[in-house]
Homo-oligomer: A and B are copies of this chain.
Amino acid sequence: MANLQEERPDDGVELGVLTDLAGYHLRRASAAFAADFARVLEGTGMRQVLFGVLSVVAANPDINQGMVGRSLGIQRANMVALINELVELNLVEREVAKDDRRAFALRLSPIGQDILAECIQRIRAHEEEMLSDLAHDERGRLIRLLMRIEAKERS
């Protein structure tokens, strides 16, 4: 890994060992993305996590909370408030599952589909902006590298 130490865009402040730690840069890049994300979704009532839930529910009609949570790395307990929020916003419909009366079957409402579509449009523009310095093949390469790191997670 060639000398990253020489690339120091900060105001004279050295980052020390952080400079060449992937974990640090992952954190900062992720935070940079998230900070702008809030601005991008302003007015839609959506947040990063809620959008994630909408996306998974849209792609898996009648999925239940637990499975949504597991796919996104969200605890069962923390899913409750998120789903309540989406139901109260009339974005998600929640019915007792026909095959398992403990579970809820989740679906997007028509409004939920509209909101999701609107968010997707904004988010695609946001990605375009954040990744504008990266060539097209670099973007794909980045995502593939990130997926290999995600796969390393231990439960």
Contacts and interface: CB of A to CB of B under 8 A. Distances in A.
Interface of A is mostly: helix
A18 to B, nearest CB: 5
Interface residues of A, number: 74
Q: How many copies does the complex hold?
A: 2
A134 B148 contact: yes
B143 A4 contact: yes
A16 B7 CA distance: 37
B148 A133 contact: yes
A26 B16 contact: no
A78 to B, nearest CB: 13
A55 interface: yes
Interface centre among A7, A133, A149 (most CB of B within 10 A): A149
